[in-house]
């Protein structure tokens, strides 16, 4: 087979998987909104929970995203190194930086898996309940700041109607659902990379060198990472302009 045709087919397959991943998330999102029949006070509490969970999850999402983007960048740069043993040491080092997030249990959150046929709104609120039980050092250190933000949010909601609050809750649920899906994709990649890296320790250097390269490429070619990488690239361009 023509190598160029084979490479084209491989890249087309990756793009196809990436497109399917994006379509799947968009298709899954429904305007569930806040649970029907809520009073204004209940809708307010729901929104405060949603916003607090989103802030906590965003910290972990950015940590996971930056770790994998750094891995990708370091891998591309390592291609300039011609000495196999020197590059082998670099590959180990860059992967260990990501693995560290998995071995330090407080670094990344674990989110529950969505059940089959579970509505988006129910899943998001269940995820909120699960994450509310987790103590984060970053959140504890910013307790005073959070209290100020909470007070401001309550004052803003007091001036709104129940309908307005529930409309915002609908958007927050959809936004948080997308964030949960993206974060879960990256979290799974990091967990799988950790397992593969640990298993590779039993192989000789030359064989392990190839395994390390392959496991990094599995991450960088995964649709869940490709979507985030695209987002990161666009954000960097906008910030630089």
CA–CA dist 57, 36 (Å, integer) = 26
Say whether pLDDT at 173 is over 80.
yes
Average pLDDT, the chain: 83
Phi/psi-derived region of residue 37, left when phi > 0, alpha when psi is between -120 and 50, beta in every other case: left
CB half-sphere exposure, 56, CA atoms < 13 A: 28
Q: How far apart are CA 99 and CA 197, in angstroms?
A: 8
Number of independent structural domains in the chain: 1
Contact 53, 66 (CB under 8 A): no
Question: The pTM is what?
Answer: 0.78
Q: What is the pLDDT of residues 19-77, one digit of tens each?
A: 455 445 444 444 344 455 789 999 999 999 999 999 989 999 999 999 999 999 999 99
Structural domain includes residue 79 = yes
Contact 174, 31 (CB under 8 A): yes
Confidence band for 135, pLDDT divided at 50, 70 and 90: low
Is 15 within the bounds of a domain?
Answer: no
Overall residue count recorded for the chain in this entry? 241
pLDDT at 147: 78
pLDDT, greater one: 167 or 18: 167
CA pair distance 134, 82, nearest whole angstrom: 45
Q: How far from each other are the two terminal CA atoms of the chain, in whole angstroms?
A: 43
pLDDT in tens, 77-108: 999 999 999 999 999 999 999 999 988 755 68
- Could you give the CA distance from residue 98 to residue 208 in angstroms, rounded to a whole number? 18
In a domain, residue 166? The reply is yes
DSSP type of residue 106: T
Q: Is the pLDDT of residue 6 over 60?
A: no
Across 130-154, average pLDDT: 71
More confident: 106 or 162? 162
Nearest-angstrom CA–CA distance, 53 and 33? 16
Q: Which of 26-30, 73-77, 134-138, 164-168 has the lowest mean pLDDT?
A: 26-30
CA distances from 71 to 97, 148, 173 (A): 8, 37, 31
Residue 27 resides in a domain: no
- The helix/strand/coil state of 203 is coil
> In the block, which residue shows the tokens 């084209």?
8
Domain-embedded: residue 56: yes
Q: Judge whether 18 lies within some domain.
A: no
In a domain, 4, yes or no: no
Dist CA 201 CA 211 (whole Å):
10
Place of tokens 């000495």: 83
pLDDT reported for residue 8: 44
Angle at CA 50, nearest 5°, toward 145 and 165? 105
Cα distance between residue 143 and residue 149, in whole Å: 10
Give 120's pLDDT tier (boundaries 50, 70, 90). Answer: very high
* Percent of the chain predicted with pLDDT > 70: 76
User: Quick check: is 21 in a domain?
Assistant: no
- Range(s) of the domain holding residue 217: 37-232
Helical (H) or strand (E) element with 63: helix 40-78
Q: Closest Cα to residue 136, out of 57, 205, 47, 190?
A: 57
């Amino acid at each position: 087979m023509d190598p160029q045709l084979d490479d084209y087919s491989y890249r087309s397959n990756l793009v196809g998987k990436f497109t399917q991943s994006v379509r799947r998330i968009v298709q899954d999102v429904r305007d569930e909104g806040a649970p029907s029949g809520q009073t204004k006070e209940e809708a307010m509490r729901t929104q405060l929970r949603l916003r607090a969970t989103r802030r906590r999850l965003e910290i972990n999402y950015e940590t996971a995203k930056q770790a994998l983007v750094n891995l990708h960048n370091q891998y591309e740069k390592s291609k300039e190194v011609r000495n196999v043993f020197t590059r082998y040491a670099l590959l180990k080092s860059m992967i260990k930086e990501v693995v560290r997030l998995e071995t330090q249990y407080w670094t990344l959150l674990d989110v529950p898996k969505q059940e089959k046929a579970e509505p988006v709104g129910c899943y998001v609120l269940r995820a909120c309940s699960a994450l509310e039980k987790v103590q984060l050092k970053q959140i504890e250190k910013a307790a005073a700041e959070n209290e100020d933000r909470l007070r401001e949010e309550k004052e803003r909601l007091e001036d709104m109607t129940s309908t307005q609050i529930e409309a915002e809750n609908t958007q927050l649920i959809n936004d948080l659902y997308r964030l949960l899906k993206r974060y879960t994709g990256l979290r799974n990649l990091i967990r799988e990379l950790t397992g593969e890296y640990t298993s590779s320790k039993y192989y000789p250097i030359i064989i392990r060198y190839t395994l390390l390269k392959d496991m990094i490429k599995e991450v960088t070619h995964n649709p869940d990472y490709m979507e985030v990488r695209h987002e990161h690239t666009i954000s960097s361009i906008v910030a630089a302009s």
